[in-house]
Amino acid sequence: MNTITAAITAVGAYVPEFVLSNKVLETMVDTNDEWITSRTGIKERRILKDKDKGTSYLAIKAAQDLLAKANIDPLEIDLLIMATATPDMPVAATGVYVATQIGATNAFAYDLQAACSSFLFGMSTAAAYIESGRYKKVLLIGADKMSSIVDYTDRSTCIIFGDGAGAVLFEPNYEGLGLQDEYLRSDGVGRDFLKIDAGGSLNPTSFETVTENRHNIIQDGKTVFKYAVTNMADASELILKKNNLTNEDVDWLVPHQANKRIIDATANRMNLDDSKVLMNIEKYGNTTSATLPLVLSDFEHLFKKGDTIILAAFGGGFTWGSIYLKWAYDKK
């Protein structure tokens, strides 16, 4: 029997229409376009303005985009994994609702949360299901409505995050394409440096937590940046060494879009030419679980069957890692 590998066979994406530019942010907080651009690489981000729509809306749109482009019957999907840090509700899994809404009623579904590494960890999970031979079509969605947890009076965070969603379909491959290897890590030392303090079992919602504004994301920017630069670069370099790859073997780097300086540091560690480093951070900012699939969607037209792609991410907790993937198709 031929060895089963798990390959991405389709991608989809969705971003809201409303554009929150640096110029608009200048009217909201004490900042300016030059400062934001030079330190993050971000020029604008998309925001889901409708208060009646949550992360599920973004995810549904991305999934529908994938299904339409690939001409796939949602009833064929065996499993839906929802990578998100901003579920619609604390208990009712968002992925379950998304599966039902897109017509994937034969699939079981659940949410996966590892902050900005959620989609990367979800890739490992989806691939394992495919490689087991039990499932043929696993839909992995990365989606976040970060605007729902951002304090727009906090200039250290409101300039960074945006809303969006991306989706990929994993299917069995018998040509040796798809996910080749992974290096995934986590360290609880990061718990206090990037978090939402209240709303969980440790600090349940109360009058005090609301009035003290403890339900929005906060971060120690310098500490997070230091850990992100080191660990994302380390993971990307290590995945090359593990697989005896050189910079010449890598066709594309797909990095988490948190900060251009972190991306540049990772590419430099890998000794990659800028032309191989894929970025859309200037358009979307940090969409957390959605950054990697949004890059895959935006640059799908460049990928050729057999291309070597390295994906890397770093997130709160801390969580981080890299994945070595061989692309499985030429876009039609």
Return the active site residues.
Answer: 116, 256, 286
Q: Which helix (H) or strand (E) holds 156?
A: helix 155-158
Question: SS3 for 314?
Answer: strand
Place of tokens 């593990």: 242
> How many Å apart are CA 32 and CA 67, to the nearest integer?
40
> How many Å apart are CA 332 and CA 329, to the nearest integer?
9
Of 255, 306, 74, whose CA–CA distance to 169 is shortest? 74
> How many Å apart are CA 293 and CA 233, to the nearest integer?
20
* One-letter identity of residue 146: M
Q: Give residues with Cβ within 8 angstroms of 138, minimum separation 6.
A: 6, 77, 78, 79, 80, 81, 126, 129, 130, 169, 170, 171
> How many Å apart are CA 120 and CA 168, to the nearest integer?
12
Burial 96-134 (b: 16+ CB within 10 A, else e): bbbbeebebeebebebbbbbbbbbbbbbebbbebbbeee
* One-letter identity of residue 218: I
- Residue 227 tokens, joined: 């850990």
